[in-house]
Amino acid sequence: MGNKILKKSEAFYDVFFRKPGDEKKSTTYCAGCGHGIIHKLIAEAITDLGMTEKTTFVSPVGCSVFAYYYFKTGNVEAAHGRAPAVATAVKRSHPDSYVICYQGDGDLAAIGTAEILHAANRGENITVIFVNNAIYGMTGGQMAPTSLLNQKTATSPFGRDEAEEGYPLRMSEIIATLDAPVLVARTSVHDIKNIMQTRKLIRKALNAQKDKKGFSFIEILSQCPTNWKVKPEDAQEWMEKNMLPYYKREVFKDILDQAAPVPHPKPRKEIAEIVELLALPEFKTRKDNGGETTLKTIRRETKFKIAGFGGQGVLSLGAFLCELAIVNHYHSTWIPSYGPEMRGGTANCSVILSPEEIASPVVQEIDILVAFNHPSLVKFHSNVKEEGLIFYNNSIINDLSEIMPYVRRKKIQLIGVDASNAADSLGDPRMVNVAMLGHMIKVYPYFQLQQADLLLEKKFSTKPRLVELNKQALRRGFEQDEMENIV
């Protein structure tokens, strides 16, 4: 079999060297198949428009899976239905090249519905050639989403029944409802007149891509005599009788006149700038930043659990503590609770600070618990080690009865911090975490307030008001009297 393409276009290989077997001059398509005609129209168009060298052809899964036997362009063969996704990325990699995404009706309108819709909706600057033959050709004549009502196929042997299988999908009409596409049309290749119209539309679509105008979509009604089970010479009649009444041939959308070419975005930054933004300030030594307090030294691995409501900033307090440790040349690790609790309103993080490399970041036994609310205090207190330490937000935690037996038994030091009130007095309850940190720094002067200031200035460099608020909250916490008198 194989219909000969007589006068070969420049965009076709002279000899189809990739085709297995001896027949290297003819195509794999059946007699009367529309794919061959459509290939020829595309090949001639890209030749005439001078696009051949710059074109990448994305083949579908379907009868035209072997389009790469014929087209003398770059080729990539996509998985069934995924051609628009593949084409999207090929085009975005080389925006000055041209990408043709060629798909059958099973490929585009069934398994690849999501991919085509979204590529169209994004307005990818590609040309989609959609070959609608109302049947699955390659796999042996099964029903396609575009098969007509009452059409008999291998999988609708009694005819397509809308009650069971729904109605034939009109993809052009659907695509034309989207804002982004610039050209959406349906045409056919069942006779010379319509082939000429198709020729014109393919060229229009390719020109649109050349002018960087965006997404164009040409649906082509095409013959499949083999699977329609008609003689090639009867295919025209079959199409006229069955397909043409249901599938209107028209230009559904053409906004090429209004569409402006899409420019390439320019880089706004160099990678070095991003790296610089992410860098923490550097202090040569722990005392190298003007602070006056003499710092204590962290001598052993210290494990924190910081817990509270979502919104109390427990995760960022933990991270902030780590940053303070890092600029003071300690090691640190931080793990958030990111489980379902996160949405349920409570949050916690595990922090380890250490003078040495930290083997495991996992905190199961706690040296220092920082609890912002009652449930967290109750939940974690019994993981605190003997002679450990608990900071708790005594603005809202009044009842310690549940934890006292354990606290006494394990000789745990309890420190109440009036953190929520400190934050509220500044008019911003979010400052509760920083107020807590201020007091922690007072009780355990491993870090200096000034170091915290510097970190805040870098972190919120575009929000000076927030820096000021944070600094004040730190100091409110720091200046509070120590309240470790409960036990």
Ligand X SMILES: Cc1ncc(C[n+]2csc(CCOP(=O)(O)OP(=O)(O)O)c2C)c(N)n1
Contact set for ligand X, span 140-179 (CB under 6 A): 144
Candidate residues 8, 40, 72, 286; the one interacting with another protein per rule CB under 8 A: 72
**Does 78 participate in binding another protein (rule CB under 8 A)?**
yes
Residue closer to another protein (CB basis): 13 or 246: 13
DSSP code for 140:
T
Looking at the DSSP bridge assignments, the partners of residue 74 are 56
**Does 27 participate in binding ligand X (rule CB under 6 A)?**
no
Which stretch in 128-136, 229-237, 371-379, 461-469 sits in contact with ligand X by CB under 6 A? 128-136
**Does 55 participate in binding another protein (rule CB under 8 A)?**
yes
Distances (CA, A) of 48 to 59, 207, 279: 21, 11, 54
Residue closer to another protein (CB basis): 69 or 252: 69
Q: How far apart are CB 268 and another protein at their closest, in Å?
A: 5
Q: In 3D, which of 272, 286, 278, 346 has the Cα closest to residue 312?
A: 346
Give CA–CA dist 253/266, Å, rounded: 31
Give CA–CA dist 48/44, Å, rounded: 6
Contact 123, 155 (CB under 8 A): no
**Does 335 participate in binding another protein (rule CB under 8 A)?**
yes
**Does 136 participate in binding ligand X (rule CB under 6 A)?**
yes
Q: 């922690």: which residue's tokens?
A: 440
Backbone angles phi, psi at 310, to 5 degrees: -60, 140
Question: Which residue, judged by CB position, is nearest to ligand X in the bound state?
Answer: 104
Residue closer to ligand X (CB basis): 107 or 115: 107
Candidate residues 12, 16, 29, 68; the one interacting with another protein per rule CB under 8 A: 68
Q: In 3D, which of 311, 329, 326, 335 has the Cα closest to residue 455?
A: 326
* Number of residues this chain uses to bind another protein (CB under 8 A): 71
Contact set for ligand X, span 49-108 (CB under 6 A): 61-64, 80, 104-107
Candidate residues 6, 192, 260, 279; the one interacting with another protein per rule CB under 8 A: 279
Candidate residues 1, 14, 15, 20; the one interacting with another protein per rule CB under 8 A: 20
Give CA–CA dist 407/416, Å, rounded: 14
Q: How far apart are CB 13 and ligand X at their closest, in Å?
A: 21
**Does 114 participate in binding another protein (rule CB under 8 A)?**
yes
List b or e across 113-128, with b for residues whose CB sees 16 or more CB atoms inside 10 angstroms: eebbbebbeebbbbbb
Candidate residues 285, 364, 398, 401; the one interacting with another protein per rule CB under 8 A: 364
Residue closer to ligand X (CB basis): 29 or 304: 29
- CB under 8 Å to 20, separation ≥6 — which residues? none
**Does 275 participate in binding another protein (rule CB under 8 A)?**
yes
- CB under 8 Å to 116, separation ≥6 — which residues? 84, 103, 108, 109, 128, 171, 175
**Does 269 participate in binding another protein (rule CB under 8 A)?**
yes
Candidate residues 127, 133, 156, 393; the one interacting with ligand X per rule CB under 6 A: 133
Q: How far apart are CB 430 and another protein at their closest, in Å?
A: 20
Candidate residues 138, 205, 208, 243; the one interacting with ligand X per rule CB under 6 A: 138
Give CA–CA dist 156/409, Å, rounded: 77
Contact 382, 353 (CB under 8 A): no
State the sign of the Cα–Cα–Cα–Cα dihedral 231, 60, 99, 27: negative
Q: In 3D, which of 129, 124, 146 has the Cα closest to residue 137?
A: 146
**Does 29 participate in binding ligand X (rule CB under 6 A)?**
no
Candidate residues 44, 115, 219, 367; the one interacting with another protein per rule CB under 8 A: 115
* Number of residues this chain uses to bind ligand X (CB under 6 A): 17
Candidate residues 97, 236, 242, 425; the one interacting with another protein per rule CB under 8 A: 97
**Does 139 participate in binding ligand X (rule CB under 6 A)?**
yes
Backbone angles phi, psi at 303, to 5 degrees: -105, 125
Which residues lie near ligand X (CB under 6 A)?
61-64, 80, 104-107, 131, 133, 135-139, 144
